[in-house]
Every structure is written in structure tokens, then in C-alpha cells.
Structure 1
Amino acid sequence: MTELLLDITEDAFLGGQLLLKQKRSGHRAGHDAILLAAATRAEAGERVVDLGAGIGAAGLALARRVAGIRLSLVEIDPEQAALARANAAANAISADAIVLDVTADASVFAANGLPPDSVDVVLMNPPFNDPARHRGSPDQARHTAHVATAETLHAWVHAARRILKTGGALTLIWRADGIAEVLAALSRGFGSLSILPVHGEAGRPAIRVLVRAVKGGRAPARILPGLMLNEESGVPNKEVKEILEGRAVLPLAEP
């Protein structure tokens, strides 16, 4: 399929360190993916899986920062998975792009090289908009990428828990007003939670939460100081600019 048929754009991420092709219409990668990558802790040699990877933005941004990870990009949409594969190759990053439904059972994951207890790190940006309050896009791919069902988060966390080794970590991003759903989904099998609220503006309620959880972890949960995307004046936060340009990481990614 040609780029003309797909109506492709090429966009710079991490201050130009990462060039990604994506469809002009439908779901497009943005700040959430880069914040997720900046919140994910990984080391060279570790097996890392990006669930619902789309064009690969979060996983590839992590791989650009941490050389030597063994990265798999899991995506249900074959066109998005093809773009993720092409993006990895174009940026000289070694990664597998796997066409797979995150809600598939263990045998399907195993058949695609992801058996239980085999992964060190999972990162994910699941669909998180509440269908009762969010008008879904008529574009089916965009709708699938954005709108959650009542079971979405539990199913995605279950998949992550199954493939992670004991002691492995899951990092996810979700809407802030759904924090109770996040805590409920992580209550089985995960502990040592670190929660980072993300605010659009100083003095306003958080709009996102970034959460790191350890399979089998027993440390007390901790809530970190919030990240402000913009100052009260509306000027972009300097710290956030450095993160989006790949020159800094979030506290969740620090040892």
C-alpha cells in the first residue's frame, strides 16, 4: 500500500531524534506517548512490550533513550502495525511489530512469542475515554484507539500481568478522573505503585495520571508531586519541554 493511499505525514518527536510516519486522519501519536516513554524505566537487555503501540511512538521513544532493549510493539490494527514496523526500521531501532488483540488469550500471546512470565517491562496507553461522556469518532480506528469499554483497563492490565515476570514493571497512562479504575485494575497481582498526576495548567485538576506498578511488589504506594504541562500564564513548562525533546525523564523512570 502506498503512502499516497494511506495519506501519510512524517512528524518529528524528541526534538527531531525520532521521525515517525503516521496517517493524517484517525488516531495520531502525541504528548501522551512521549510522556509514557519518559515515565518508563528500562535497562539494556530487558524484554520490553508496548501494548497498543499504534505507530510505535512510546516504545520507539523509549528505545531511543535506552539502547539495547528487546522491544515488541503490539497493535491490533494491521495498518498501524505496518507503520510501527516501518518506523522502527527508518529510525534504525530493532523492534518486532506484532498484530495482536491485547484482549486475546494466553495461547494467542504465546503463539506470537509472548508467553507468560517472559517480559521485564510493559508500557501501555489504553483507550481511556468514557463512552458515556465522550462522543466517539466516526473513524473506526480513532474510536477504537480512544474509547474504553467497562472492561478495557482490566483486560489490558490482565494481559500485562500475565506476560510480566515477577518483579517486572508496568507503566501506563490514563485519564486522571479514572484513577479509581486504575487502582482497582492493579489491585490483583501488582504493588509498589508510583503515581504521577499530570496537570494541563498549574492550579487546575489533573488531566492524566502516569502509574508505575510492580508485579508482586509490596512497597507502599506513593503519589509524586504533579507535573504541570503549562504555567499559570499559559507558557509551556520548561521541564516538560525538556522531556518532550528527549533531554529529561520523569521521576517514575529514575532508579
Structure 2
Amino acid sequence: MNCDPTNSAVVDEAGFTEDAFLGGRLRLRQPRGGHRAGHDAVLLAAATAARPGDRVVDFGAGVGAAGLALARRVAGVDLKLVEIDPQLARLARDNAAANGIKAEIVTLDVTSSANAFAAAGLVPDSADVVLMNPPFHDAGRHRASPEAAKALAHVAGPATLESWILAARRVLKSGSALTLIWRADGLADVLAALAHGFGSVQILPVHGEAAKPAIRVLVRTVKGGRAPSRLYRSLVLNNESTLPKMQLDDVMAGMALLPLAAP
């Protein structure tokens, strides 16, 4: 679900477009080819709870879509965007500046050591919120893109999910929340990875169409949480019967939140 949620227009001859998100309140420059931000990033931002002053860390930020969308909604967050690809990290920096959003951009592999994180200013127990959209296609079942950047953004290795969740657990303060989006058929893997140090799990399935299985899950979980798990009513992107179209449109425009973002 990384298709463009609004409109695109090629703005130069170097293969970049400028795309409107949140009903035009956020404009992002990104490569025309390769991995492109879209619905996943907007849904992730709408599922993430944050307050002014919170230190928010976006793992795998790409051009900054999810983190910047969250910062557009919650003014005054201390935003840090973590991205492995230097070109995307530069675009994220430019996009933050172009939208008047203060953000620190770090070029870093999320699977790096604790020392590498600390050198980048991400010391243990320092974040109030982590959100992430890890590479989630199974390398054994998914043919990697010949474009290196797209393959890096989409294809997960055997330890990708566990490594990313470990990094989130390390940087989060006790009692703080991680929100992530993952493919729905990998939910068992998500729950297994969260069993070490996380609890109070909330799950929101996302369906492309009502009659078909879920294609994504949005998951919110708390470091050290002990509350019972919650499974929310599904979000259906192309059917008005489960979630009124007006409400879904408000979510995509950044005017409404998903249940996981409730305090």
C-alpha cells in the first residue's frame, strides 16, 4: 500500500515527484521510482499517539512521510527520523525544512549496535514514542526488486523484525509505546517478537477489500505493558460498510485518528 494517496507531479527531470499528503497540508519530494511513501505511512501516523514535547523516533523513515505526518498533527514533538539510505535521508531533511517542521535526520541502519545508536544520539531509555514501517516482504517468497533502494525498503531478512523491535525496546522509556505496520500474514511473528519486553498489545487489521483477508496490521504496544490485548474492528480501505467513507477520508487527510492513537 505504498501507492500515492493523493496526486503526483514530476517537478524536475531528475526522476523526482512532489506529492501531497494529509489533504495537501504536507508535501513531500520523493523518487518517482523505487520505494514511495503512501497509505501505509499515513495510516501509521494516524495510529500513533504523541503529545507536544514527546521525543518521537521514526525508524525506516524514508523521505519522512510517517514522522512528518505525525509532527504536522502534533506540534512541538521532538522528532528524529532514522533512515539507512543516504539519498532518502537527504530528501527527508529537505522535506522537513520545506514543510517548516523541525526534525533531526540520522543516516543509520536500524539493526546497528547500541554503540552506533548512542553515537547518533539515540541512547537507551530516551524516546517517548517509536513508530516504524520495517521492510516486511519475506525474502523467501518475494522476488526482490532490481532497484537496490526499493529492495532494501521492502524485503525482510530472517531477523529483520526482531532486530527492529529490539532497537525500539532499547531506545524507548519504560511505559512508552511502539507503533508499527506489518503484513497481516506475519502477525504471529510480530507477537512473538513483542513477547520479550512488550505488552498491552493493540491490533487493528487493515483490509484492501471487505471480502478479502487483511493485508496489513497496525500494532501498538507498550514497553513493560501488562494490560490485556485488544483487537479492534477492521479498517477496510475500499468498502464503506465497515468504516464510513467520510471517516476514512478524514484519516487520510490527517483530520481523524485511528483507535490505536487514543490516549
The two structures have a TM-score, normalised by structure 2, of 0.93
Which residue number in structure 2 is paired with residue 188 of structure 1? 196
Which residue number in structure 2 is paired with residue 36 of structure 1? 44
RMSD: 1.5
SS in 2 for 1:68: coil
Per the TM alignment, residue 4 of structure 1 is displaced from its structure 2 partner at its CA by: 5.1
2:220 matches 1:219? no
SS in 1 for 2:58: strand
2:214 matches 1:230? no
Aligned partner of 1:104 among 104, 112, 120 = 112
Aligned partner of 2:173 among 165, 176, 182 = 165
SS in 2 for 1:192: strand
SS in 2 for 1:134: coil
Aligned partner of 1:246 among 236, 254, 259 = 254
Per the TM alignment, residue 237 of structure 1 is displaced from its structure 2 partner at its CA by: 3.3
Which residue number in structure 2 is paired with residue 83 of structure 1? 91
Count of residue pairs brought into register by the alignment:
252
Which residue number in structure 1 is paired with residue 6 of structure 2? none
The 5 A counterparts of 1:195-214 are 195-214=203-222
Measured in 2, the distance between the counterparts of 1:211 and 1:24 equals 29
- Provide closer, same or farther for how the CA distance between residues 31 and 117 of structure 1 changes in structure 2, counting only shifts above 3 A: same
Deviations 1:99-157 (A, max 9, x none): 00100001110111100000000000000011222111100000000011110000000
2:11 matches 1:17? no
Per the TM alignment, residue 203 of structure 1 is displaced from its structure 2 partner at its CA by: 2.5
Amino acid at match of 1:105: S
Measured in 1, the distance between the counterparts of 2:13 and 2:195 equals 45
Which residue number in structure 2 is paired with residue 153 of structure 1? 161
SS in 2 for 1:114: coil
The answer (yes or no) to whether the contact 1:228–1:237 under 8 Å persists in 2 is no
SS in 2 for 1:230: coil
The answer (yes or no) to whether the contact 1:202–1:232 under 8 Å persists in 2 is no
SS in 2 for 1:206: coil
Measured in 2, the distance between the counterparts of 1:145 and 1:250 equals 25
Measured in 2, the distance between the counterparts of 1:4 and 1:229 equals 32
Amino acid at match of 1:205: P
The 5 A counterparts of 1:1-80 are 6-80=14-88
The answer (yes or no) to whether the contact 1:203–1:232 under 8 Å persists in 2 is no
- Give unmatched runs, 5+ long, in structure 2: 1-10
Amino acid at match of 1:146: H
Measured in 2, the distance between the counterparts of 1:125 and 1:6 equals 26
Which residue number in structure 2 is paired with residue 128 of structure 1? 136
Per the TM alignment, residue 232 of structure 1 is displaced from its structure 2 partner at its CA by: 7.2
Deviations 1:15-66 (A, max 9, x none): 0000000011110000000000000000000000000000000000000000
The answer (yes or no) to whether the contact 1:201–1:230 under 8 Å persists in 2 is yes
Measured in 1, the distance between the counterparts of 2:12 and 2:205 equals 40
Measured in 2, the distance between the counterparts of 1:241 and 1:218 equals 34
- Percent identity reads 66
- Provide closer, same or farther for how the CA distance between residues 6 and 215 of structure 1 changes in structure 2, counting only shifts above 3 A: farther
Per the TM alignment, residue 240 of structure 1 is displaced from its structure 2 partner at its CA by: 1.9
Amino acid at match of 2:174: T
Measured in 2, the distance between the counterparts of 1:231 and 1:54 equals 29
The answer (yes or no) to whether the contact 1:201–1:229 under 8 Å persists in 2 is yes
The answer (yes or no) to whether the contact 1:48–1:70 under 8 Å persists in 2 is yes
Per the TM alignment, residue 5 of structure 1 is displaced from its structure 2 partner at its CA by: 7.0
